[in-house]
Amino acid sequence: MDLGISGKTALVCASSKGLGRGCAEALAEAGCRLVMNARGAEALEETAAHIRATYGVEVVTVAADIVSPEGRARVLEAAEGAEILVTNAGGPPPGLWSDWDREDFIKALDANMLTPVALMQALLPGMMERGWGRVVNITSRSVKAPILALGLSNSARAGLTGFVAGTSRQVAEKGVTINNLLPGVHETDRIRQMDAHESTSTGKALAEVSAARAAGIPTRHYGQAEDFGRMCAFLCSVHARYIVGQNIVLDGGETIATI
Protein backbone atom coordinates (compact mmCIF):
# COMPACT_ATOMS: atom_id res chain seq x y z
CA MET A 1 0.00 0.00 0.00
CA ASP A 2 1.28 3.46 -0.89
CA LEU A 3 1.02 5.43 2.37
CA GLY A 4 1.00 8.73 0.46
CA ILE A 5 3.63 10.39 2.66
CA SER A 6 6.73 10.10 0.49
CA GLY A 7 8.82 13.28 0.72
CA LYS A 8 7.27 14.45 3.98
CA THR A 9 9.55 15.31 6.91
CA ALA A 10 9.12 13.19 10.04
CA LEU A 11 10.66 13.92 13.42
CA VAL A 12 11.07 10.63 15.29
CA CYS A 13 12.31 11.16 18.85
CA ALA A 14 14.36 8.62 20.80
CA SER A 15 14.83 6.54 17.68
CA SER A 16 18.33 5.00 17.59
CA LYS A 17 16.94 1.75 19.01
CA GLY A 18 13.79 -0.13 19.88
CA LEU A 19 10.28 1.10 19.12
CA GLY A 20 11.41 4.57 18.00
CA ARG A 21 13.77 2.96 15.52
CA GLY A 22 10.95 0.72 14.28
CA CYS A 23 8.87 3.84 13.59
CA ALA A 24 11.79 5.63 11.89
CA GLU A 25 12.46 2.66 9.61
CA ALA A 26 8.81 2.26 8.61
CA LEU A 27 8.48 5.98 7.84
CA ALA A 28 11.72 5.85 5.83
CA GLU A 29 10.33 2.86 3.93
CA ALA A 30 7.31 5.04 3.12
CA GLY A 31 9.70 7.65 1.67
CA CYS A 32 9.82 10.18 4.50
CA ARG A 33 12.80 12.41 5.13
CA LEU A 34 13.78 11.84 8.76
CA VAL A 35 15.01 13.86 11.68
CA MET A 36 16.19 11.29 14.22
CA ASN A 37 17.22 11.77 17.81
CA ALA A 38 18.78 9.91 20.76
CA ARG A 39 21.25 10.88 23.47
CA GLY A 40 24.03 8.51 22.41
CA ALA A 41 25.62 9.64 19.13
CA GLU A 42 27.20 6.31 18.20
CA ALA A 43 24.06 4.16 17.96
CA LEU A 44 22.18 7.10 16.42
CA GLU A 45 24.73 7.49 13.62
CA GLU A 46 24.82 3.72 13.00
CA THR A 47 21.04 3.53 12.71
CA ALA A 48 20.89 6.64 10.51
CA ALA A 49 23.56 5.20 8.18
CA HIS A 50 21.61 1.94 7.93
CA ILE A 51 18.40 3.81 7.08
CA ARG A 52 20.07 6.01 4.45
CA ALA A 53 21.65 2.96 2.81
CA THR A 54 18.50 0.82 2.98
CA TYR A 55 15.76 3.28 2.04
CA GLY A 56 17.64 6.04 0.19
CA VAL A 57 16.07 8.85 2.21
CA GLU A 58 17.70 11.89 3.79
CA VAL A 59 18.30 11.49 7.53
CA VAL A 60 19.30 14.35 9.83
CA THR A 61 20.54 13.32 13.28
CA VAL A 62 20.53 15.29 16.52
CA ALA A 63 22.27 13.66 19.48
CA ALA A 64 20.49 15.27 22.43
CA ASP A 65 18.35 14.56 25.46
CA ILE A 66 14.82 15.20 24.22
CA VAL A 67 13.68 15.77 27.83
CA SER A 68 16.01 18.72 28.42
CA PRO A 69 14.85 22.13 27.15
CA GLU A 70 18.24 22.71 25.42
CA GLY A 71 18.24 19.30 23.75
CA ARG A 72 14.66 19.68 22.64
CA ALA A 73 15.37 23.14 21.20
CA ARG A 74 18.19 21.67 19.06
CA VAL A 75 15.96 18.86 17.83
CA LEU A 76 13.13 21.27 17.01
CA GLU A 77 15.48 23.57 15.13
CA ALA A 78 16.51 20.65 12.89
CA ALA A 79 12.89 19.58 12.49
CA GLU A 80 11.42 22.94 11.53
CA GLY A 81 8.42 22.42 9.27
CA ALA A 82 8.06 18.73 10.13
CA GLU A 83 4.72 17.33 8.97
CA ILE A 84 4.97 14.16 11.08
CA LEU A 85 5.93 13.93 14.76
CA VAL A 86 6.55 10.71 16.68
CA THR A 87 7.19 11.38 20.36
CA ASN A 88 9.14 8.93 22.48
CA ALA A 89 11.61 8.83 25.41
CA GLY A 90 12.82 6.31 27.95
CA GLY A 91 10.33 5.03 30.50
CA PRO A 92 10.51 5.73 34.27
CA PRO A 93 12.01 3.16 36.68
CA PRO A 94 9.87 0.57 38.49
CA GLY A 95 9.11 0.69 42.21
CA LEU A 96 6.37 0.71 44.83
CA TRP A 97 3.70 3.43 45.20
CA SER A 98 5.26 4.54 48.50
CA ASP A 99 8.80 4.87 47.04
CA TRP A 100 8.53 8.10 45.10
CA ASP A 101 8.82 11.72 46.15
CA ARG A 102 7.93 14.89 44.30
CA GLU A 103 11.24 14.92 42.35
CA ASP A 104 10.61 11.40 41.02
CA PHE A 105 7.17 12.40 39.81
CA ILE A 106 8.51 15.59 38.21
CA LYS A 107 11.12 13.55 36.31
CA ALA A 108 8.53 11.08 35.04
CA LEU A 109 6.12 13.87 34.11
CA ASP A 110 8.91 15.71 32.30
CA ALA A 111 9.91 12.68 30.22
CA ASN A 112 6.58 11.04 29.51
CA MET A 113 4.06 13.87 29.59
CA LEU A 114 5.52 17.38 29.40
CA THR A 115 8.13 16.60 26.71
CA PRO A 116 5.57 15.23 24.22
CA VAL A 117 3.25 18.13 25.11
CA ALA A 118 6.06 20.65 24.42
CA LEU A 119 6.91 18.95 21.11
CA MET A 120 3.27 19.09 20.04
CA GLN A 121 2.95 22.72 21.08
CA ALA A 122 5.99 23.53 18.94
CA LEU A 123 4.96 21.65 15.79
CA LEU A 124 1.14 21.68 15.75
CA PRO A 125 0.78 25.34 14.72
CA GLY A 126 2.80 24.77 11.52
CA MET A 127 0.91 21.58 10.72
CA MET A 128 -2.43 23.37 11.21
CA GLU A 129 -1.35 26.28 9.06
CA ARG A 130 -0.34 23.93 6.24
CA GLY A 131 -3.57 21.94 6.65
CA TRP A 132 -1.94 18.55 7.20
CA GLY A 133 -0.09 16.82 10.00
CA ARG A 134 0.29 13.61 11.94
CA VAL A 135 1.33 13.05 15.55
CA VAL A 136 1.86 9.63 17.11
CA ASN A 137 2.85 9.38 20.77
CA ILE A 138 4.48 6.19 21.97
CA THR A 139 2.92 5.61 25.40
CA SER A 140 2.30 2.22 27.03
CA ARG A 141 -0.38 -0.37 27.61
CA SER A 142 -0.13 0.83 31.23
CA VAL A 143 -2.54 3.59 30.17
CA LYS A 144 -5.27 1.04 29.50
CA ALA A 145 -4.56 -1.18 32.51
CA PRO A 146 -1.98 -0.22 35.15
CA ILE A 147 1.28 -2.14 35.39
CA LEU A 148 1.63 -2.41 39.16
CA ALA A 149 5.41 -1.90 39.38
CA LEU A 150 5.28 1.11 37.04
CA GLY A 151 3.30 3.66 39.02
CA LEU A 152 5.35 6.57 37.67
CA SER A 153 4.65 5.45 34.10
CA ASN A 154 0.94 4.83 34.85
CA SER A 155 0.64 8.37 36.21
CA ALA A 156 2.65 10.38 33.69
CA ARG A 157 1.29 8.63 30.63
CA ALA A 158 -2.29 9.02 31.86
CA GLY A 159 -1.65 12.78 31.94
CA LEU A 160 -0.42 12.77 28.34
CA THR A 161 -3.42 10.69 27.31
CA GLY A 162 -5.76 13.27 28.79
CA PHE A 163 -4.00 16.09 26.93
CA VAL A 164 -4.23 14.20 23.63
CA ALA A 165 -7.89 13.33 24.17
CA GLY A 166 -8.83 17.00 24.23
CA THR A 167 -6.23 18.48 21.90
CA SER A 168 -6.75 15.96 19.09
CA ARG A 169 -10.37 17.13 18.82
CA GLN A 170 -9.26 20.76 18.59
CA VAL A 171 -6.81 20.33 15.71
CA ALA A 172 -8.58 17.70 13.57
CA GLU A 173 -10.50 20.25 11.47
CA LYS A 174 -7.12 21.51 10.18
CA GLY A 175 -6.20 18.09 8.78
CA VAL A 176 -4.01 17.20 11.75
CA THR A 177 -4.46 13.93 13.64
CA ILE A 178 -3.00 12.96 17.01
CA ASN A 179 -3.10 9.38 18.26
CA ASN A 180 -1.29 7.26 20.81
CA LEU A 181 0.29 3.84 20.33
CA LEU A 182 0.28 1.70 23.48
CA PRO A 183 2.99 -0.97 23.36
CA GLY A 184 2.84 -4.15 25.37
CA VAL A 185 5.91 -6.37 25.61
CA HIS A 186 8.19 -5.81 22.63
CA GLU A 187 11.56 -7.38 22.06
CA THR A 188 13.76 -4.29 22.56
CA ASP A 189 16.79 -3.53 24.73
CA ARG A 190 14.46 -2.37 27.50
CA ILE A 191 12.69 -5.72 27.74
CA ARG A 192 15.96 -7.65 27.28
CA GLN A 193 17.36 -5.73 30.27
CA MET A 194 14.25 -6.41 32.35
CA ASP A 195 14.44 -10.14 31.55
CA ALA A 196 18.18 -10.20 32.33
CA HIS A 197 17.53 -8.42 35.64
CA GLU A 198 14.84 -10.94 36.61
CA SER A 199 17.10 -13.82 35.58
CA THR A 200 19.89 -12.51 37.82
CA SER A 201 17.65 -11.77 40.79
CA THR A 202 15.71 -15.07 40.70
CA GLY A 203 18.53 -17.35 39.51
CA LYS A 204 16.30 -18.59 36.66
CA ALA A 205 17.79 -19.03 33.19
CA LEU A 206 17.18 -16.07 30.87
CA ALA A 207 15.32 -18.28 28.38
CA GLU A 208 13.04 -19.48 31.18
CA VAL A 209 12.22 -15.91 32.23
CA SER A 210 11.43 -14.86 28.64
CA ALA A 211 9.35 -17.99 28.01
CA ALA A 212 7.30 -17.34 31.17
CA ARG A 213 6.68 -13.74 30.12
CA ALA A 214 5.68 -14.82 26.61
CA ALA A 215 3.34 -17.47 28.04
CA GLY A 216 1.27 -14.66 29.60
CA ILE A 217 0.60 -13.10 26.18
CA PRO A 218 -2.21 -14.59 24.07
CA THR A 219 0.04 -14.68 20.97
CA ARG A 220 2.72 -16.43 23.13
CA HIS A 221 5.47 -14.26 21.71
CA TYR A 222 6.90 -10.77 22.15
CA GLY A 223 6.07 -7.99 19.71
CA GLN A 224 8.62 -6.78 17.18
CA ALA A 225 9.66 -3.15 16.68
CA GLU A 226 9.23 -3.58 12.90
CA ASP A 227 5.52 -4.40 13.27
CA PHE A 228 5.06 -1.58 15.77
CA GLY A 229 6.73 0.83 13.34
CA ARG A 230 4.45 -0.16 10.47
CA MET A 231 1.37 0.58 12.59
CA CYS A 232 2.90 3.97 13.36
CA ALA A 233 3.54 4.62 9.66
CA PHE A 234 -0.06 3.72 8.86
CA LEU A 235 -1.31 6.22 11.46
CA CYS A 236 0.91 8.80 9.76
CA SER A 237 -0.43 7.92 6.32
CA VAL A 238 -2.98 9.77 4.20
CA HIS A 239 -5.37 6.86 4.79
CA ALA A 240 -5.58 7.49 8.55
CA ARG A 241 -7.24 10.91 8.36
CA TYR A 242 -10.39 9.70 10.19
CA ILE A 243 -8.48 8.19 13.13
CA VAL A 244 -8.46 10.91 15.81
CA GLY A 245 -7.57 10.82 19.49
CA GLN A 246 -7.33 7.03 19.67
CA ASN A 247 -5.28 4.82 21.97
CA ILE A 248 -4.24 1.76 20.01
CA VAL A 249 -2.94 -1.14 22.07
CA LEU A 250 -0.27 -3.32 20.45
CA ASP A 251 0.22 -6.04 23.04
CA GLY A 252 -0.66 -9.40 21.53
CA GLY A 253 -3.95 -9.28 23.46
CA GLU A 254 -2.26 -9.18 26.87
CA THR A 255 -4.52 -6.44 28.24
CA ILE A 256 -7.76 -8.12 29.21
CA ALA A 257 -10.43 -5.64 28.18
CA THR A 258 -13.55 -5.83 26.02
CA ILE A 259 -12.87 -2.49 24.32
Binding site for ligand NAP (CB under 6 A): 14-20, 37-40, 43, 65-67, 88-91, 138, 140, 183, 185-186, 188-191
- Walk across the sheet containing 9-12 and list its strands: 59-63, 33-38, 9-12, 84-87, 133-138, 176-183, 247-250
State the minimum distance, in angstroms, from the CB of residue 44 to ligand NAP. 7
State the minimum distance, in angstroms, from the CB of residue 45 to ligand NAP. 11
Q: For residues 62 and 176, which CB has a smaller minimum distance to ligand NAP in the complex?
A: 62
Q: For residues 14 and 48, which CB has a smaller minimum distance to ligand NAP in the complex?
A: 14
Distance, CA of 138 to CA of 247 (rounded, Å): 10
Distance, CA of 11 to CA of 65 (rounded, Å): 14
Q: Which one, of 57, 11, 50, lies nearest residue 33 by Cα?
A: 57
State the minimum distance, in angstroms, from the CB of residue 216 to ligand NAP. 13
Alpha carbons within 13 A on the beta-carbon side of 164: 32
**What SS3 class is residue 176?**
strand
Q: For residues 138 and 176, which CB has a smaller minimum distance to ligand NAP in the complex?
A: 138
**What SS3 class is residue 248?**
strand
Q: For residues 28 and 171, which CB has a smaller minimum distance to ligand NAP in the complex?
A: 28
Q: For residues 37 and 168, which CB has a smaller minimum distance to ligand NAP in the complex?
A: 37
Distance, CA of 88 to CA of 24 (rounded, Å): 11
Instruction: Count the neighbouring beta carbons within 10 Å of the beta carbon of residue 35.
Output: 26
State the minimum distance, in angstroms, from the CB of residue 64 to ligand NAP. 7
Q: For residues 191 and 235, which CB has a smaller minimum distance to ligand NAP in the complex?
A: 191
**What SS3 class is residue 103?**
helix
Instruction: Report residue 225: phi and psi, to 5°.
Output: -60, -30
State the minimum distance, in angstroms, from the CB of residue 164 to ligand NAP. 15
State the minimum distance, in angstroms, from the CB of residue 175 to ligand NAP. 27
Q: For residues 36 and 171, which CB has a smaller minimum distance to ligand NAP in the complex?
A: 36
Distance, CA of 28 to CA of 246 (rounded, Å): 24
Q: Which one, of 156, 222, 167, 169, lies nearest residue 194 by Cα?
A: 222
State the minimum distance, in angstroms, from the CB of residue 107 to ligand NAP. 11
